[in-house]
Amino acid sequence: MPTVADMRFTATATPGAAADALEHRPVLLHPLIESLQPRPGQIAVDGTLGAGGVTAALAERVAPAGRVIAIDRDPDAVRLASERFAEDETVIAVHGDFADLDTITRSLGYPEVDIVTLDLGISSLQLDDPSRGFSFRNDGPLDMRMDPGGGESAASIVNAWSTEELTSAMRDYGEERFARSIAAAIVRSRADRPITTTGQLRALVEETVPRRFWPKRIHPATRLFQSLRIAVNHELDSLERGLQAAISILRPGGRLGVISFHSLEDTLVKNALHVAAQNCICPPQQPHCTCAHRATLFILTRKVIRPDAAELATNPRSRSARLRVAEKLHAGEIPRNPPANG
């Protein structure tokens, strides 16, 4: 069950972590805030609290009467928020999954909200901490759980899944060309000793993928690590549920903004918004509508928003970010012609 974190409790985060969070600037922050147009008194939901950058920007604009309900699966993020927003009653931090954001907001007494934002993927605080096991840059335990308190770790998957299961995960979640070769190498290696660290897994990929086939812009282990992280945290399932939950709790005129970082996420977001913006979802060849589906959203981003040159220069990690924004329609409102959703 999600739990509401009292913003006045004593933080137990790593010393200096709150200061690092203050220095972290979220990707596409300016276009996100410009698109959502938060105003004083509004209720906003930041479904991915992370280092708190988006929450801070929203809180500044909805204060003093508004509220920002900031949700994160990572208890460290919630603890850091207690430091950063200790004196700010606008922010309510919640330990939970944004897939349950409708349940969370209603339990707090907010059945409808004005804004929902999701900044998907992994936060820099998680990525830069070797003990969390999200990155292969530094050796650490092969964990990858966004909530370390539950679920199976990446090490559990790597040491238990069959060759076929590992291959499917890498193909489905990472579009990995050498999925079967890497999966077979994992199974052979773990027969000698368990694979428990990020360094072991990185070295295994480097040995398995021929050097001439290494990608030019990313390390050859990148897609494997992405695949494992998605599998460990059930990210695509959470995203599907979270999008529907967000649409359900937005009040008419409210806005949803989603930042994604890889094609699987972006395609899922694009398709969910597209369906919600249609007055009919019957097959094109069907002569008459029988679905009774009615549009609930209008898509505001005619084309997906990407980082500009200035942001790319200061934050290379932003290169894959994509922002999509939609607005909730009023009941019975005739939808405007939906824009291209490229």
Q: What is the CATH number of the domain that holds 198?
A: 1.10.150.170
Are 203 and 272 within one domain? no
Are 257 and 219 within one domain? no
Are 97 and 176 within one domain? no
pLDDT digits (tens, 9 = 90+) for 212-232: 999 998 999 999 999 999 999
Measured N-to-C along each axis, helices 53-62 and 29-36 cross at an angle, to the nearest 10 degrees, of: 30
**Stretches in the chain below the pLDDT threshold 50:** 1-22
Q: Looking at the domain assignment, is residue 338 inside a domain?
A: no
Q: Looking at the domain assignment, is residue 36 inside a domain?
A: yes
User: From CA 261, how far away is CA 151, in angstroms rounded?
Assistant: 24
Q: Looking at the domain assignment, is residue 130 inside a domain?
A: no
Per the structure, the count of domains in the chain is: 2
Q: Looking at the domain assignment, is residue 337 inside a domain?
A: no
Longest CA pairwise span in the chain (Å):
64
pLDDT at 315: 85
pLDDT at 337: 55
Are 92 and 163 within one domain? no
Does an H or E element contain 60, and which? helix 53-62
Q: Quote the distance between the C-alpha of residue 243 and its chain's center.
A: 11
Whole-prediction pTM: 0.88
Closest CA to 270 of 256, 280, 253, 290: 256
Are 245 and 196 within one domain? no
Are 287 and 302 within one domain? yes
Q: CB 181: neighbour CB atoms within 10 A?
A: 16
Closest CA to 342 of 302, 309, 293: 302
Are 110 and 77 within one domain? yes
pLDDT at 14: 38
Rounded to 5 degrees, φ, ψ at 321 are -75, 145
Q: What CATH number does residue 272 fall under?
A: 3.40.50.150
pLDDT at 22: 45
Are 112 and 255 within one domain? yes
CA distance readout (Å), 198 to 143, 205, 230: 9, 11, 16
Are 22 and 115 within one domain? yes
Domain that holds residue 252: 3-125+235-328
User: From CA 81, how far away is CA 91, in angstroms rounded?
Assistant: 9
pLDDT digits (tens, 9 = 90+) for 307-340: 999 999 998 878 899 999 999 998 766 666 555 5
